Amino acid sequence: MKWVYIEDIGRHCGEDVEIRGWVYHKRSSGKVRFLVVRDGTGFLQATIFSSEKDHPLFHQFDALTRESSVIVRGAVREEKRSPGGYELCVQDMETLQIAQEYPISPKEHSTAFLMEHRHLWLRSRKQHAVLQVRAEVIRAIRDFFDGRGFRLMDTPVLTPSACEGTTTLFETAYFDQKAYLAQSGQLYNEATAAAFGKVYCFGPTFRAERSKTRRHLLEFWMVEPEVAFATLEDTIELGTDLVLFIVDRVLSRRRSDLEDLERDPKPLEAISKPFVRYTYEDIIPKLQEKGSGMAPGEDFGAAEETLISQLSPGPVCITHFPAKIKAFYMQPDKARPDLVLGVDFMAPEGYGEIIGGGQRIHDLSLLEKRLEEHQLPREAYEWYLDLRRFGACPHSGFGLGVERTVSWMCGIKHIRETIPFPRLLYRLYP
C-alpha cells in the first residue's frame, strides 16, 4: 500500500493507502472506533468498524494511548462530517510504540511547564500552526529576493567585531583569540554587495539582551538585503514590497493555520502601500500627546512602539533618527548632520519593530571618525574601511526579524512561540 501524507489525502479518494503517524485522540461509539491520527501535515479520522465485539483491531485500538506511533492502512473516502472532509476506513493497523502517559493534556498548563516540554509542545495544534506560518514566511522571503535577482551570501556566525554595539555581544573563545556571535551579517554584506550588486544573507543572529521582554530573543533569524548604489528611499521601497509580499503569501497559503490560531485576517488584508511615514522629530510630539514620557533624543521603548502602531492600521516607517542613538555606520543627512538616514518599520497592532536599516556611510574619513567616537578597535574594521577605499558608493539595506514578523502574522503576543526552540534569558533547555 502506498504511504501518503494527510495533506495530500484528497488526491487519493477511493484508493487504499497507508498513513504513518501518531494518535491524537480516540473515542468509541457502538460498533465503531474513531481514531484521530496526526502525521505532521494534518489530522485524519481513521474509522474501525466491526460487528464482532472481539475484533483484534478493537483490542489494538483499546491499548492505544495519546501520541502512540501507528501505521494505519485502509481506503480513503469522502466524509463531510469528519474534520478535513475525508476519513480512512481502517483495514489493518500496526502499533509501533505505546506512548507513556503524555505530559501535555488539554487542560491548562503554565508557560514554564510548556517551555520545559517545548520538544513535545511543538506537536500541539496551535504551536504547529505558528511554525507552519513561520516556514511559509521564510519561503516567501527567499522567493522574494531570489525572484528579484538578489544573490544569497552566507555571512559568518563567528566574527571578530561588533556590528550593533558592544553591549549585546556573546563572547566565545576562538583558540587564543576572542570571537563574538554575529549580531548581524550587515558589515559582511556591504562587502558582498560591492562584489555582486544586490545580495541578501539569511541566518541566525545573536544578541545578549539582558532584558526580559515579549519581543526579544537571544537567538533570532534575520534576513538582510544590501544594495550597492541604493539610497534610503530605495531601501524603504524594498522593505515595503517585502512586507506586502509576505502578508500576501501568508494570507493565500496559510489561511487554515490563521483560523486554528483564531487570528482575524482582516487587519492583514487591509495592508497596502505606501506605508505611513514620519521623521523621528515629527513623531515625538505625537507620542507625547498619547501619553509617552519619552524625552527627545531617546530611543523608542516597547510602550512607544505600541503607541506608534496606533497611528496607522498598516506599518509605520520612521526615519531621520538622532545619530547618537543609532549604530556607527549610519549615513548622516546632508542638511542635518545630527540626524541619520536610518529607517525603522513598526508593525501594526502593537507587534513592534520588524525592520531596521538605512543608508550606510561611504566616506572613508567620516567612517574613521565614527569608529573613534564609538570607541571601536580600528584594526578589527580595516577590511570594512577598505570598502570605502576601493570604489566607495552610497549603499543601503535593512534587516527584517523573522520571529517578530511571525508574531504579527499569527497574532501571537509573545515571540517565544514563533521559533521551534527559543533562546531566552535563563532558558537554554531543551
Q: What angle do CA 45, 50, 54 make, to 5 degrees?
A: 115
Alpha helices in 41-172 (DSSP H): 56-63, 111-116, 118-121, 125-147
Residue type, 306: T
Q: By CB under 6 A, is residue 190 in contact with ligand 4AD?
A: no
Rg (CA), the chain: 26
Q: Least distance in Å: CB of 391 to ligand 4AD?
A: 20
C-alpha 188/C-alpha 205 separation (Å) is 13
Q: Least distance in Å: CB of 6 to ligand 4AD?
A: 33
Q: By CB under 6 A, is residue 417 in contact with ligand 4AD?
A: no
Find the part of the chain contacting ligand 4AD (CB under 6 A) among 2-10, 248-256, 351-359, 422-430: 351-359
Find the part of the chain contacting ligand 4AD (CB under 6 A) among 72-80, 87-95, 216-224, 332-340: 216-224
Q: By CB under 6 A, is residue 356 in contact with ligand 4AD?
A: yes
Find the part of the chain contacting ligand 4AD (CB under 6 A) among 83-91, 119-127, 300-308, 353-361: 353-361
136 or 164, CB closer to ligand 4AD?
A: 164
38 or 416, CB closer to ligand 4AD?
A: 416
Q: Least distance in Å: CB of 220 to ligand 4AD?
A: 4
Alpha helices in 270-393 (DSSP H): 280-289, 302-308, 364-373, 382-389
Using the rule CB under 6 A, which residue among 39, 67, 164, 305 binds ligand 4AD?
164
**Which of positions 220-249 make contact with ligand 4AD (CB under 6 A)?**
220, 222, 224
Q: Which candidate, 309, 292, 314, 312, places its Cα nearest to that of 301?
A: 292
Q: By CB under 6 A, is residue 319 in contact with ligand 4AD?
A: no
C-alpha 168/C-alpha 172 separation (Å) is 13
Q: Are 342 and 401 in contact (CB under 8 A)?
A: no
| Residue of minimal Cβ distance to ligand 4AD | 356
25 or 210, CB closer to ligand 4AD?
A: 210
Q: Least distance in Å: CB of 172 to ligand 4AD?
A: 18
Q: How far is CA 236 from CA 29, 190, 231, 313, in A?
A: 59, 17, 9, 18
89 or 138, CB closer to ligand 4AD?
A: 138
* 395-401 β-sheet, strand order: 151-152, 198-206, 219-228, 395-401, 353-359, 339-346, 316-322, 276-279
Hey, what's the cell of 231? Answer: 539610497
332 or 401, CB closer to ligand 4AD?
A: 401
Q: By CB under 6 A, is residue 184 in contact with ligand 4AD?
A: yes
69 or 306, CB closer to ligand 4AD?
A: 306
Q: How far is CA 156 from CA 120, 123, 382, 409, 424, in A?
A: 32, 32, 17, 29, 22
Reduced to 3 states (helix: H, G, I; strand: E, B; else coil), residue 84 is coil
Using the rule CB under 6 A, which residue among 128, 198, 216, 388 binds ligand 4AD?
216
Sign of CA dihedral 358, 359, 365, 366: negative
Using the rule CB under 6 A, which residue among 355, 371, 387, 412 binds ligand 4AD?
355
Q: What is the DSSP letter of 292?
A: -
Print the binding letters for residues 386-415 with ligand 4AD: x by CB under 6 A, - otherwise. -----------xxx-x-xx-----------
C-alpha 426/C-alpha 430 separation (Å) is 12
Q: By CB under 6 A, is residue 192 in contact with ligand 4AD?
A: no
Query: Could you list the residues that contact ligand 4AD (CB under 6 A)?
Result: 163-164, 184, 186, 207, 209, 216-217, 220, 222, 224, 353-357, 397-399, 401, 403-404
